[in-house]
Structure 1
Amino acid sequence: MSKVPSKSRAKLYGKDDMAELDWSFYENGAFLKEYFDEFITDTTAYMKNVDTEIFLAAIGRKLIPCTVNEAEYNNSYVCSPYTHYITYAKEELRFISPKALRTLLAAIINIFGSFAKSIEINKIVYINNYCLSTNLVSALSKREIRALRNLLTEQFPKYQLGFRSINAITHKDMMVSFEEEGFELLPSRYIYISTYDRLNTPTKSERKKRRQDEKGLTEGMTIVTNKDLATEDIGRIVELYNQLYIEKYSVLNPQFTYKFIEKLLDKDLFLFQGIKINGRLEAISGTFVLNNMMTNPIYGYNLSLFPQHQLYRILRHLNTRLALDNQYLYHQSAGAGNFKKARSGEGTPEYTALYVGHLPFHKKYFWKLLSLLLKKIGIPLVEKLEL
């Protein structure tokens, strides 16, 4: 019989002591074991631009994945705040007009970029980090948040702590608890969420949009799921994802490898839905599900088939059906604001709950100033442009 861990003890497990974990004791332990097995030993083999160290924080019956970094300024934004707030912000300026405003914002970002490196912005522990664009979050009590903060500041006394993917729709109580425990709510991006109730009660206009999406499915198309996808489809999934998220959008998005997709399919860790045309995979989504919430970290389609085939709309139709059939909240992540709002998506800012209370004054001041600018300038701009 395995030893039952103490319910009150908070502990950190790294790759050298993972064998001590009794996975069955923890909520979602089976999924976490399969997801982080091997990934924890060499993250870049699974995500090319995610060079990080992974730990699992045990709090009661919950295991919280954490990433730890020192610098790694070329990392994806999923574990690099420099990439998120400086490099990525520069890329997003292409959506800003007029040119004078774009020039002013570029100057501000460059100044903050210099300060960011001087205060070691990438010296950070990201809490609840699956290294995905959207991390679904298990609810944590104020006591559990405090235990995490105390554990991580003790183990990493010179590091910033950041808890990604927090929003007021799904984590309203947690946001209050974070602030009461000394965390700053730092805006990170603008997202769109469809609750099950909202999906299940569409307006007349939303019903019309959904019917249009469904009509994209033609007789020559075949819907495929996990059981239908073969080894020869894995490389195609990587290719379709890269075509959309890396080549069209940004190399700063996580760059998933063949090995990562193979793992997800082999272990059924994500729910895959795709479209084959004449036997060839032309569209794919990979859905992460946790506690009746879902999101699509993997999304891709053959861009050359547009506008003949409305593959983006078809994938959205399939995922809306998946959410409705299972009564899931659908976290639609960021971007394509007009499209998502027209399909029952509610826009809301997303935050990183940041703790720097144990760090020197100049580091705390940097984050306070950045938070103020994001709240006063960043979020209003994103809301206006519906990015």
Structure 2
Amino acid sequence: MKYPAPSAALAHTLWLLSARARGGKHWIANANCEFQSITIAEQTQPVSVQALSSRNQSYVLSPRSAWINYAKEEANRLAPRKLQWLAKILGDSIFFPLSLLLRGSGLDRAVSIGNRLISTNLYPDWSLQEFKNLTEELVSEYPNYPYIFRNICPEVNPHFYDYLQRCGWSLVPARMIYLCDPQNPAVWKHNHVKKDVRLLHSEDIEIVGPEQMKNGDLPRLRDLFRQVFIHKHSTLNPDFTIDFFEFCLESSFLELHGLRHKGQMVGVLGVYEFQGSNWITTPLIGYDTTMPQELGLYRRLMALLLQIAKQKNKRLHYSSGASEFKQARGGLAYLEYTAIYSQHLNTREKLCNKLFAKTLQYIAPRILKRVDQY
């Protein structure tokens, strides 16, 4: 018998309790960190304290993986095979100095606030005073660490960018994201959306809702996710453990949806909401990469996500990647930032943080927008 899922607030509390007791690797195989907590606006938020960053740490935890290692992988991936040697030389000329600055900044041991080890964290609206209180408490509790706050986008949380800057944080470009409002009738007039919705509701593949999911499905769902995000894309993506999938099934921390073809699960979608946010997103998506492309599994999953967002009366955070695909389905491109605070550190670390931030503020928007075209 499947019992009703706990409330979203309780699910987040249970996630954090387990993370504090067992560490980040309980939920994400490549997230070696400890968890503590801090209170913002009477809400308990996770605080991750990572072990020294390594090449194996997921980008959702490690600034080095996010800004250096992942970017190097992308540069090599986009370069024509015959020119990959040149791309490596050019990449090293950019990334080596950045790597030195990052090391000198202390960001390899950064404390991350509000980070649930997913690609896109969602936040409620906090006031300027709450950010001031947060910054003061962090300096008191973690005086020897720099702090980072991921997933800051003015279009998602309109005041965050300004409030963080006014509190002394630096906003560093991190990635291009795509936002969509499924409540806008124009979204559903896109030809690609119309075709995808028709495909989603064709009878050859069954849509499996959260209430139909079973424990026996979870190993397959994890495999589908890993086929896409780990094997097809990058080992720096978060590698969700089977414990995480079990927790999502029990608590709806991520609301699991699936696609079934001839009795076998062939697609999975994990929908994430946060109390007080008007957005939903999907940090977890996967499909059987061996199936014929004509089945359009990714198209079906994204159509399902769009449909769920409309049903929930939420705006849709498409996250990053697949730019052309998402823009053809109502996604608008925006820069997302990671906030860094280092005002309390020693002179060398403050200087390295300042130079690191200034460098990325100058070059990252150009690179991200250029890469976005591919």
TM-score (norm 2): 0.91
- Preserved CA contact (<8 Å) 1:186 1:371: yes
- Matched pairs, number: 359
- Among residues 293, 314, 325, which one is paired with 2:279 in the alignment? 293
**Within the alignment, does 1:201 sit opposite 2:182 as a pair?**
no
Secondary structure at the aligned position of 1:259 is classed as helix
Q: Secondary structure at the match of 1:247?
A: helix
Matched residue, 2:144: 158
> Are the counterparts in 2 of residues 357 and 364 from structure 1 also a CA contact under 8 Å?
yes
> CA–CA distance in 1 between the matches of 2:160 and 2:150?
12
Say whether 1:135 aligns with 2:118.
Answer: no
After TM superposition, list the pairs within 5 Å mapping 1:18-29 onto structure 2.
29=9
Name the structure 2 match of 1:272: 256
| Residue of structure 1 equivalent to 2:171 | 185
Instruction: Judge which range, 295-304 or 368-377, deviates more.
Output: 368-377
Q: 2:110 aligns with which of 118, 124, 133?
A: 124
Who is 2:247 aligned against? 263
Distance 2:51 2:344 in 1: 17
- What's the offset of the Cα at 1:58? 1.4
Structure 1 residues 45 and 64 mapped into 2: Cα distance closer, same or farther (>3 Å)? Answer: closer
For 1:263 and 1:196, how far apart are their aligned partners in 2?
A: 28
Residues 1:234 and 2:218 aligned together: yes
> Would the alpha carbon gap of residues 304 and 238 (structure 1) be closer, same or farther in structure 2, given more than 3 Å must change?
same
Q: Which amino acid aligns with 2:17?
A: D
> Which stretch shows the higher mean deviation, 264-273 or 128-137?
264-273
| Equivalence for 2:367 | 381
Match of 2:204 in 1: 220
SS in 2 for 1:299: strand
36, 39, 48: which one pairs with 1:55? 36
Provide the C-alpha distance between the structure 1 equivalents of 2:329 and 2:29, rounded to a whole number of angstroms.
Answer: 33
Contact residue 31 and residue 61 of structure 2 kept, 8 A: yes
1:161-181 deviations in Å (ceiling 9; x for gaps): 111100020122111111111
Provide the C-alpha distance between the structure 2 equivalents of 1:374 and 1:33, rounded to a whole number of angstroms: 35
Letter aligned with residue 76 of structure 1: S
Paired with 1:180 and 1:195, the residues of 2 have a C-alpha distance of 29
Matched residues in 2 for 1:376 and 1:339: separation? 27
The 10-residue stretch of structure 1 (301-310 or 368-377) with the greater mean CA deviation from structure 2: 368-377
C-alpha contact (below 8 Å) 1:287/1:296 kept by paired residues:
yes
Distance 2:166 2:371 in 1: 32
Counterpart Cα distance in 2 of 1:96 and 1:283: 27
1:113 matches 2:93: no
- Cα distance in structure 2, aligned partners of 1:167 and 1:134: 11
Structure 1: which 5+ runs fail to align? Answer: 1-26
Paired residue type of 1:259: D
1:106-144 per-position Cα deviation (integer Å, ceiling 9, x unaligned): 222023223423443222111111111111112111101
Q: Larger relative contact order (C-alpha < 8 A, sep ≥ 6)?
A: 2
By how many angstroms is 1:249 displaced? 0.5
Offset of residue 376 of structure 1: 2.4
Give identity over the alignment, percent. Answer: 27
Question: What displacement does 1:28 show?
Answer: 6.1
47, 56, 64: which one aligns with 2:45: 64
Preserved CA contact (<8 Å) 2:188 2:194: no
The 4+ residue runs of structure 1 with deviation greater than 3 A are 95-102
Encode CA deviations 1:167-213: one digit per residue, 9 max, x unaligned: 0201221111111110100111111111344x433274x2x111111
Amino acid at match of 1:85: W
The secondary structure found in structure 2 opposite 1:344 is coil
Matched, 1:46 2:57: no
Measured after TM superposition, the shift of residue 102 of structure 1 is: 5.5
TM-superposed deviation, 1:373: 2.6
Residue 211 in structure 1 maps to residue 202 in structure 2 = no
CA distance in 1, matches of 2:33, 2:46: 12
Residue 97 of structure 1 and its aligned partner are, at CA, apart by 4.8
The one-character-per-residue Cα deviations of 1:329-382 (angstroms, maximum 9, x if unpaired) are 111111000111111111111111111111122222222222233232222122
Moved more, 250-259 or 372-381: 372-381
Q: 1:148 Cα shift? A: 0.7
Which residue identity does 2:168 align to in structure 1? G
**2:320: which partner in 1?**
334
Q: 1:216 offset after TM fit, Å?
A: 2.3
Distance 1:280 1:351 in 2: 39
